[in-house]
Structure 1
């Protein structure tokens, strides 16, 4: 059963009115601090609320990520939305249903146990009593704190949860109404911002006359310190001006980015803060050295978000109040940092989440929001719209950190690890607004007198930390040592990219497990099962092995291969095993990918499968294609021409199976597929080539180097 203890969301936001309210025309408002970024969370929450309130989903109006109208649930990240927001909303809705039945029983003079709710109406002995949520709303005190004492519906009675309800956000998006980019109030002022090419760069000169000539229309140019913005009533005018400003700007000073910053050698040579965590009983010196020692080093390059739609933000200052529209993943943190950086009171700023292209990490949404807010302060009474270009996205976005992962195992006489060490090096994995006291806005650093930033930012060396996420495998290891080296400060802004450190860590761990299986002369699936006592972990591995026909019939080193990868995301979210079939000559062609996932109770099966399939596709693109490059002190990648991503024609057949028990609590699925997919592809390529490539992406250049070695 799903526990009814109060989740953190209800502890932080205890009033029932924070979550539920009643509206005209027999509608119910449900509120959440979590936001829609393509993962289908609003649909899942509608299903949960409809189930517990016992109304049809069509009656529900979901309000998401609005600081003046809903609970503060922190950042939407880490595959936690259903598990956290869903749990809080579930209990709140159950309690509201309990209040309805209690008030109806009192008014009707009957026992509450004899009443039921049917699409919001109260029935007694199967007959409509004339009472419902809306007739009794004024008599129900929703300002009271939640207690978690009202029983929730049994999964065996679910009618909405567990079905593939169509996405509630798609109709508006299909009609072109669902995105922040489409907002166009009549007082709109368009703006573009000139971004510094590297950290602390100083603007030596800017040919303003050239910018005005290129604009071919009236513009205003604002320069404060090293911050430059162009505003105009027409978008085409500011677009031309911004291109001219980029070409006309001369920069100097600061910290240009080394061209070799992305290499393993550069990363390994940097000073770092070192933390170490031991788990299990450390073997003595003889135990650490007497068995066969296997070592390997794996590497992931810098990568970027590549959202299909570039970031956008709008803001308006009127009567001393600032309203900001943003596709931020944390509206409350954005509000708080805007107030700090703009010198406003918290109650003078409202942030309203509006949807955009999904990002699954800290992209430039908050930067665009700050730019719009800052410019709105200088144009009161106008709505300022800041839109990034594709080149802005590549140049100004935080980047997903490169990671160097060294693995070492001492094998016992049975071929299993007696001692295991993972030694990882990376910069920090979060610089979101509010993290470590960091405001997170690139433009605020370019303005005069920026507020102080934290002197030290530490990724926690645990299963849910940044660089160390999933660095501790789920396998039964007698002794495990995690060494975490955090390189900070760093020449480029790094932050959360989908899965944080889990992607590189699972790629390294699961590749290394295959290498250990080879060293022990044991089948890779059998070897994993010999190290696992967790029944749910074993079940997904066994399921995906059956799905793909493991081990296949391709001989090693002849151009075809089948590989497997496994993890439980953060060691507490969904279990996922992935198998990949590849054909390799000068490049890798994915022919089929299989996935088996245990997500516990699945609120929307189609939505869960979509998430897992999307994770497989994105992970395949990272594994085979994506790598940021640097030159002339800056990011050298400016478009998808020089940052290739997986094309539609390269997406393989994908088969996903959900194998969990609906009696178990829901587990997050958003990032579950990422690391296992990379490992499965890497292991399949190793079998196809007869040699292993340990650095990503598995590009043509790396394959040719491996074939010629």
Structure 2
């Protein structure tokens, strides 16, 4: 089952395994909280040197670096690898400070342990998301590598009786040039484990980097994925394992009144059908049998409390709400008075639909019993702390009795970091209903993912902005209507402030433009449609409204859209500079495009990164259009892996382009209309435009790259389409005939 490159060990198994013949130096770094940096510590006990257990009272830290006597360097990665390059980026940080050979570095998924492997930006929560993997671990992983290097050097100095300052480390070899002595990491590992751990290991200056910021490092997950060696949840096969498929209600809020399993249980391979809170699960010896059994079920759904509104009714209700003030988010100056006195007022309504995450790997999970009465959860695990607690609660266990093994995930875009742990809770209920003695694999079909999943909320924006007689913005009034994704979750205390879900207004709460009078308010209607974060979260809708309105204001002022923005961005130089770079590289000031073609521009900051984007479109004779070229400029601080940054800019843009052009979830009478990729449309390869990515050199702290490109493409394309047609576009997905 296990991929040797992604092995998750429980703490007990880790300590046991570290006493084996290949054990050498095991090192960790403890950073108790963001902004409170502590020196690195070694995993206690002589297990690092080949024997014994941890001594009482010794500090047990996060183990990030393990150097074996066979010269392999294992980097324990606390963040899920789901295609975004985590298992390359985190090892790069360690390898840089360790001066290791890239080929000897192997990533390994961390076990569930929030005390040691917490996301430093999230406090005591272990998990991956918000484009934080590199940003929160940048110093932590470098310190782990630097401390290990210092201990190897100390061991070599003691062995050769030479000053440590005369020793060099290059490509995994420790050398003393004056005496001619040298040794590999593996040869020094046992002795290095006895060295004192430096409290503050010296980190390299950026000018000394040999790996960080270099484009030649091959990804650590590419070969395994290309050859089929990489392990995903779908690859897990255990003795006597049962596979489960679930019949979910056709409308949100419906419940099982009763069901007839006779036809389902007559399907060869089906073992039984069981009722669970979310529906009816069919267990079988293989997926095909489970699916056929699920399809043969007769379920009587109680829809007395089911939600029966459609997208049109929801949007109409939002429009009614938008006529009245919501809860004030930001108030600067007097927007109402400034609008009343403005020489020109521009008003527009922008709307975006529900969206599915549509990751290529649908939701899946394996739960298997452990001999000590606990369970083991195996999946592409993104939200360890939340999921561990949720599964434990269902099964009546202590959280530490739920051990989680993190495999690769085939995408997520936020879906696997579900605050309700929905599909893991579902798997736990099935496991419990089946007796808790047999391994169970839950598999959601594409239809389950599309119709019974969680969605990016539908949002409505109403924006009114005013210009003075010189064409300068003097007022900005912005109203947002849409569901909260945080209310009712464990994150509410931190992210809902004075009744305002901060994720609903991010990207609109603070603008990069100097507009003296601004007012932003919010309506957060409650609906039973399940919603959660979607790649780039609030910025996916706020950037569309803000950047389209900025273009409309520039047109009303008779000013070039780039010049109009730049004149207002004096206090936001990084956004100004990526805007100008995108314009320069995108040919903004070149001769105009031919008739029927248009360029559009947009800029946005999210997850600490600044992205400017120019899109080119061409109209066709069928009242449609194509996106031909996209130029991206990004400032994400210090770049660890340029190839990964480029890939994430391309992929994030493509993901956002799907939503801009074609993706939407629509409800009719409370039922989701889409089911698979034939009607929930995503960008096909032949529709992907030519893409250029330009990275701004920087020594600032690294910021996110997995999400910041996603929100910028929709307004860039909408603005390009407006340039080509003379019409403005206010609704996603974009249709030229709109």
Question: What TM-score do you get using the length of structure 1 for normalisation?
Answer: 0.87
Match of 1:449 in 2: none
Query: Pairwise mapping of residues 286-297 of structure 1 onto structure 2 (< 5 A)?
Result: 289-297=341-349
Deviation at 1:298, TM superposition (A): 0.8
Q: Distance in 1 between matches of 2:271 and 2:713?
A: 49
CA deviation digits over 1:114-156, x for unaligned, max 9? Answer: 2222334432236334474653446547997x85x22211222
Question: What TM-score do you get using the length of structure 2 for normalisation?
Answer: 0.84
Shift of the 522–302 alpha-carbon distance from structure 1 to 2, 3 Å rule, reads same
1:236 corresponds to which of 288, 296, 307 = 288
Q: Distance in 2 between matches of 1:170 and 1:381?
A: 36
CA deviation digits over 1:233-282, x for unaligned, max 9? Answer: 2322111001122x644342223241135753223446999432336544
Query: Pairwise mapping of residues 371-386 of structure 1 onto structure 2 (< 5 A)?
Result: 371-377=426-432, 378-386=434-442
Unaligned runs of 5+ in 1: 438-455
Query: Pairwise mapping of residues 147-296 of structure 1 onto structure 2 (< 5 A)?
Result: 147=199, 149-164=200-215, 165-178=217-230, 179-213=232-266, 215-224=267-276, 227-245=279-297, 248-260=299-311, 263-269=314-320, 274-278=326-330, 280-282=332-334, 285=337, 289-296=341-348
2:600 is equivalent to residue 545 of structure 1? no
2:649 is equivalent to residue 594 of structure 1? no
2:384 corresponds to which of 301, 323, 331 = 331
Match of 1:487 in 2: 525
2:732 is equivalent to residue 696 of structure 1? yes
2:133 is equivalent to residue 88 of structure 1? no
2:59 is equivalent to residue 33 of structure 1? no
Shift of the 225–517 alpha-carbon distance from structure 1 to 2, 3 Å rule, reads closer
2:552 is equivalent to residue 515 of structure 1? yes
Q: Which deviates more, 6-15 or 21-30?
A: 6-15
Query: Pairwise mapping of residues 88-167 of structure 1 onto structure 2 (< 5 A)?
Result: 88-125=140-177, 127-130=180-183, 132=185, 135-137=188-190, 140=193, 147=199, 149-164=200-215, 165-167=217-219
Deviation at 1:614, TM superposition (A): 0.7
Q: Distance in 1 between matches of 2:311 and 2:646?
A: 39
Q: Which deviates more, 357-366 or 385-394?
A: 357-366
Unaligned runs of 5+ in 2: 1-29, 44-61, 120-125
Are the aligned partners of 1:314 and 1:386 in contact in 2 as well (CA < 8 Å)? yes
Q: Distance in 1 between matches of 2:165 and 2:39?
A: 29
Q: Which deviates more, 234-243 or 576-585?
A: 576-585
Deviation at 1:407, TM superposition (A): 1.6
Q: Distance in 1 between matches of 2:374 and 2:32?
A: 35
Match of 1:58 in 2: 103
2:467 is equivalent to residue 411 of structure 1? yes
Q: Distance in 1 between matches of 2:76 and 2:35?
A: 12
2:525 is equivalent to residue 474 of structure 1? no
2:456 corresponds to which of 400, 407, 428 = 400
Are the aligned partners of 1:262 and 1:301 in contact in 2 as well (CA < 8 Å)? no
Shift of the 286–315 alpha-carbon distance from structure 1 to 2, 3 Å rule, reads closer
Are the aligned partners of 2:579 and 2:611 in contact in 1 as well (CA < 8 Å)? no
Shift of the 350–541 alpha-carbon distance from structure 1 to 2, 3 Å rule, reads same
CA deviation digits over 1:285-325, x for unaligned, max 9? Answer: 36763442222111111111112221211010122021001
Q: Distance in 1 between matches of 2:99 and 2:463?
A: 52
- Secondary structure class of the residue paired with 1:221: strand
Query: Pairwise mapping of residues 328-477 of structure 1 onto structure 2 (< 5 A)?
Result: 328-363=381-416, 366-377=421-432, 378-430=434-486, 434-436=490-492, 458=496, 465-471=502-508, 472-477=510-515
2:675 corresponds to which of 638, 641, 644 = 638
Q: Distance in 1 between matches of 2:722 and 2:656?
A: 17
Match of 2:536 in 1: 499
Q: Distance in 2 between matches of 1:107 and 1:379?
A: 58
- Secondary structure class of the residue paired with 2:204: coil
Are the aligned partners of 2:463 and 2:477 in contact in 1 as well (CA < 8 Å)? yes
Deviation at 1:6, TM superposition (A): 8.4
Deviation at 1:673, TM superposition (A): 1.2
- Secondary structure class of the residue paired with 2:537: coil
Q: Distance in 2 between matches of 1:287 and 1:224?
A: 55
Q: Distance in 2 between matches of 1:11 and 1:653?
A: 43
Deviation at 1:197, TM superposition (A): 2.7
CA deviation digits over 1:15-63, x for unaligned, max 9? Answer: 4541222334112222232111111111111111110111112222222
Q: Distance in 2 between matches of 1:337 and 1:78?
A: 21
- Secondary structure class of the residue paired with 2:415: coil
Q: Distance in 2 between matches of 1:142 and 1:406?
A: 63
Query: Pairwise mapping of residues 562-581 of structure 1 onto structure 2 (< 5 A)?
Result: 562-570=599-607, 572-581=608-617
Aligned residues: 672
Q: Distance in 1 between matches of 2:423 and 2:556?
A: 51
Match of 1:681 in 2: 717
- Secondary structure class of the residue paired with 1:493: coil
Match of 2:56 in 1: none
Are the aligned partners of 2:256 and 2:299 in contact in 1 as well (CA < 8 Å)? no
Shift of the 579–260 alpha-carbon distance from structure 1 to 2, 3 Å rule, reads closer
Q: Distance in 1 between matches of 2:717 and 2:648?
A: 19
- Secondary structure class of the residue paired with 1:670: coil
Deviation at 1:225, TM superposition (A): 5.6
Deviation at 1:494, TM superposition (A): 0.4
Match of 1:559 in 2: 596
